[in-house]
Structure 1
Amino acid sequence: MVADSSSTIAWLITATALVMLMTPGVGFFYGGLVRKKNFISMISLSFIAFALVSIQWILLGYSLAFGSDISGMLGNLQYLGLNGVSMNTGEAGYPPLLFMIFQMTFAAVTVAIVTSGLAERVKLSSFIIFSLLWTTLVYDPICHWVWGGGWLASLGAIDFAGGMVVHISAGFAALAIALAIGKRAGYGQYSLEPHNIPMTLLGAGLLWFGWFGFNGGSALAANSIAVNAIVVTNTAAAAGALSWMAISWYYGKPSSLGMVTGAVAGLGTITPAAGYVTPLTAVLIGAIAGIVCYKAMLWRIKSGMDESLDAWAVHGVGGFMGTIFTGIFATTAVCSYSGLLEGNIHLFTANVIGAVVVTVYAFIVTYVIAIAIDRTLGLRVSEEEEYVGLDLSQHGECCR
C-alpha cells in the first residue's frame, strides 16, 4: 500500500517529535544513574547536545551526510546552510526540509548517548568542542556511508533505523572517550551508586515511547513497513526487559534498573532490523540482546573500565548484534531483502563488514578527538571541581 503525501507528512512530523523526546529521555535516564551532585550536569549535557547538533546540522552536517556523494566517503556541500533544501513535497511524498529535521533528531540523540563515557568528570567547554567535532568527523561520515549513498550502501549493507549509524557509533565512541578521559575519582574504591532510580525509569519510558518514532518513522511513509517496525520495536523491548530481568534474578535480585536497561538493549538491537524482520524474530532478537548486553556490562565492570553508564554494553554491543542479525534474519515476508537464512550470503557479509568498519572508525576517531582536546583544552574538570560536583562547578546550580 502506498501512502498519500499528506499522511506521510503527518506521520513524519509526529515521528520527528517522538525522536526529539528521546534526547531529554537519555538525559533523564543517565541523570538518575549519577550521583546527586552531577544530576543537573548530566541532564544538561543532553539538552546542550541537542542545541549544538541542531545548529551544526543546518549549517554543515546535513550536507555532509546527505549531499551528493564524493567517492563514497562524504556528501558535498550543496546543502550548506540548507541551500536548496525545499519545503515543498517532492517525489518521495514529503518535503526534503522535513526529512532534514527528522534526521537531525537522530544525530542529536546519538551525541547524547555518547555522554555516558564522560559522566561526572567532563569540562563543559571541552564537551561543546568535542560534540561539534564528533558530529562532523564521526557521525556525519558514517551516516553518509550508510544512508547517504556512500560506500557501505553501495556494498549492499542495510540499516533500517541506526544500528550502525547511531548505536555502534555512539556505544564505541563512549568507550573510547571513557578510556581517554580516565576513571572517575574514587572509581573502584568506594560506592558510586545511582542517586535517583525513579528518574532513570522515567527516562527509559520516554526512550521506549520515542523509539516508535525512531524506528517507525524510518519507513519514511505511513505504511505497512512502519506498522511492522513499531510492532517489532515494542516486542524486542519487552523481550529484552524480561531476559535481562531473568538473568539478573538468577545472579541476584531482579532490579527495576536492570529491567529497563534490558528494554533499551532490546530497542537498540532491533533498530537496524526493524523494517526487515517478523515479530517472532523480534522476540528472539530482544531476548538475546538482554542476555548478551548484560554479560557485556559485567565484563566491562570486571575489566575496570569506567564507561560510566554502559552505552558501550547496551548501545554498542546491541547495535553490533542487531546489524549482524539483520543480515541473518531479513525476510521477504516483510521487505524486499533476504538474509542468510533465506540463502543471501551477500547481505550478511555486507552487514558484517559494515558493523566492523563502523566500530573501528568510531572508536579510533573518537579516541583521537578526545586525546587532542585533552592535551590542548583539558577534557576533564579539576580534582576539586570533580569533588564538589559538576552541577556547582560547571553550572553554578545544585539539586535540592
Structure 2
Amino acid sequence: MANSNNVITSPVNLRSDVASVLGTSAANVSGLCTSHEINMWSRCKPVHIASAAPDRSMPSDGEGAWWKGSMKNCGIKPPPVASYEEIPKLYTEDKMNGYTYERPWGGSGSPYRLADFLLYKHNAWAPIFAFQCDSKVSQSGTISCSVGINITDVDKSGPGSITLSDIDFGTNLETWWFGAMLVDSSNRIVRKLANVKPGVSLEMPARGLTLGQYYDVYPFLCMNKIDSIYDLDSVNLFLPVMNCSPGRVKYVSEEEAGGLVINLNAEYVTHPTTGLNTAVKWELKLKATNGNMTLRNNWISLRFITSDVIDPFQAGEQQKSLGDKDLTLDNPVVISGQFDLMDFLQEYYVYVTLSNGKYTKKAYPLALNPNP
C-alpha cells in the first residue's frame, strides 16, 4: 500500500489507497472525490479547477500551487457574514462554525481528478486549533484571549495541513486581525476589540463590566483593525474562527480574583535559513492589585499542544522553577526566559502555575517571520 501514516505517497494503486485511507467503500472516482470522509484541512485534496490535467507543480512557498484551486481558497468556503452581530450565531458544537468544504461537482467546469489525492494527509490540522481566554477578571485586569496557530508546515511542496497564509478570502487570511467580543446574559454584544494578529494574545479591558456577571467570549477574524472597544466599526468584514468554541469569563472583585494580574506572552525563535522553530522565548508580567503578596512554588512549563496540564510530562516537554516572588502593590514584576526546543517539528504552548497552583495562565507562542 502506497501510504504512510495516513498520507498517500504514490500514484501506484491510487484508487484503492484513497478508499483505504478514507475508510470508504466507494470505488468510483466521483464517489471518492466527493466523500464526506475527506479531511478538508489537508493541503492536497480534490478542489475546483476547470481542467482535467492541471499543472501539478508544488512550489515550496505554495504560491500558484494547484491545491489552492481556482478561487485560491483551498476548497474552503467561509460562512456568509454581513456584520459582527452575526458572529455568535455561527458557533456550532462540532466547531465547524459555518466553514464548509467545496468538493468538485464534476463536468468540464469542475472535473473529478483522482490525482488530487496524491500527498493527501488524512490527519491534517485546521489552521487554528484552539481558543482560550481567562475565566475570571477584575476591574484592574484585562481579559487575555488567544488562538493556537498551525505553523509547522514550512515547505509546501509536499503533504501537510492548510495554514492561514494558504487561504484567500478576497485577501490572504494571514493578514486579517484577531479579535474577541463579549456577550452578556441578555445576548447583547457589550464590547469588541481586534488589534492583534492571530497567534498574539489580545488584551480586552475589563473595567466597567457588571460585577458578578458572566460574559461569553467569542473569537473572530476581521479584515480591518479595531483599535478601541468604543469603535462603532461600521465598515469591516467579519468571520468566526474555525475549529474553536467560545469561552466564558466572570467579572469579579479584586478579592475574588486574588488581587493578581498575570500577563504571559511567548514567541517562537525561528532559524533564518531552515524556517524551523528552535526555541520559545517567553515573558511573564505580574502585578499585585490588592496589597503586597508573596507567590511560592512557581513554575513555567513548555508543553506540546496535544498535552493537557494534568498529563505526565513527555520527552521534549520542559519545566523550570521561577522561585518565590515578592510583589508590592501596583509595582509590576517582569520575568523572561527561553526554552530551547528538542523537537523542532512539534507545536507548543507555555503554561505558568503560581502560588502552589492557585493561579494559572496559558499562552500560545507567536510565530515571527524570520525574513521580514
TM-score in terms of structure 1 length: 0.24
Q: Which structure has the higher relative contact order (CA within 8 Å, separation 6+)?
A: 1
Give the structure with the larger helix fraction.
1
Question: Which protein shows a greater Rg?
Answer: 2
Between structures 1 and 2, the one with greater strand share? 2
